[in-house]
Chains A and B, each alone.
Chain A
Amino acid sequence: EAQVTQNPRYLITVTGKKLTVTCSQNMNHEYMSWYRQDPGLGLRQIYYSMNVEVTDKGDVPEGYKVSRKEKRNFPLILESPSPNQTSLYFCASRAGARSEQYFGPGTRLTVT
């Protein structure tokens, strides 16, 4: 089954404790992205990747890091989480720039 998976689905952590949210897709897609969703603000892109070892900042990259060492995986790293990073995070992938985007199930992160 074609899918995007994310782990963990829920995470409660404390300020400053490094964390990683994993994302994996099994569709051999070139493009992968991370979004955060906050009430009234829609989906805002954090980082995106066009291929292995090719990543770029989205609209809200501050406080986040990503890597794309393999085509299927695109982890999101929060080196020192802060409460303003409490949000719902979605990983997504698509075959090309004009293709439909597939979203993972989401990770709800709470930073206290």
Chain B
Amino acid sequence: GQQVMQIPQYQHVQEGEDFTTYCNSSTTLSNIQWYKQRPGGHPVFLIQLVKSGEVKKQKRLTFQFGEAKKNSSLHITATQTTDVGTYFCAGPSGSARQLTFGSGTQLTVLP
């Protein structure tokens, strides 16, 4: 079945440094979604990318969808303590009925 791999698993940064997490799928994706889970919380939807090569920005967050629609990245510029949490990518599988999540990247921001 489809696999969605995410790296790194953990990332510690100093406040103000940039952060990037990468997501790779074993199959071509029709779309990819990103979620954020704060410590002790539940995943919350951030964004969906659909088009090949698409780039979307949300303030300091930049999301990219690869040209081949098999990879994606989330980049955070100048991290803040409010960015702490685990970031997941997710892609459709099983005729798009399922949503398969990557293993997540846990971000720690040191003040």
Interface set of A (CB-CB < 8 Å, partner B): 31, 33, 35, 40-45, 48, 50, 56, 58-59, 90, 94, 97-98, 100-106
- A-B contacts besides A42-B6, A90-B42, 15 pairs, CB < 8 Å: A43-B43, A43-B90, A45-B99, A45-B100, A48-B98, A59-B1, A90-B43, A97-B97, A98-B30, A98-B31, A100-B45, A101-B33, A101-B43, A102-B45, A104-B42
Question: Taking the complex as formed, is B85 at the interface, i.e. its CB lies under 8 A from any CB of chain A?
Answer: no
* Smallest CB separation, B89 vs chain A (Å): 10
Could you give, for residues 1-26 of chain B, a 1 whenever the CB lies within 8 Å of some chain A CB and a 0 otherwise?
A: 10000100100000000000000000
What residues of A have a CB within 8 angstroms of the CB of B6 in the complex?
42
10 A-B pairs with CB atoms under 8 Å apart are: A31-B97, A42-B102, A45-B101, A98-B92, A100-B33, A101-B35, A101-B99, A103-B42, A103-B44, A104-B42
User: What secondary structure prevails in chain A residues at the interface with B?
Assistant: strand
A-side contacts of B98, CB under 8 Å: 33, 45, 48, 58-59
* Chain B: interface residue total (CB-CB under 8 A): 26
Residue positions of B touching A, CB distance < 8 A: 1, 6, 9, 30-31, 33, 35, 41-45, 48, 88, 90, 92, 94, 96-104
Once bound together, how far apart are the Cα atoms of A106 and B31, in whole Å?
26
Task: Contact check, A42 vs B42: say whether CB atoms are below 8 A apart.
Answer: no
Given contacts A105-B42, A106-B42, A100 and B48 within 8 Å (CB-CB) = yes
Interface centre among A40, A41, A97, A105 (most CB of B within 10 A): A97
Q: Which one, A41, A58, A97, contacts B103 given CB within 8 A?
A: A41
Closest to B31 in A: A98
Q: Which residues of A contact B42 (CB under 8 A)?
A: 90, 103-106
For B30, the chain A residues whose CB sits under 8 A away are 98
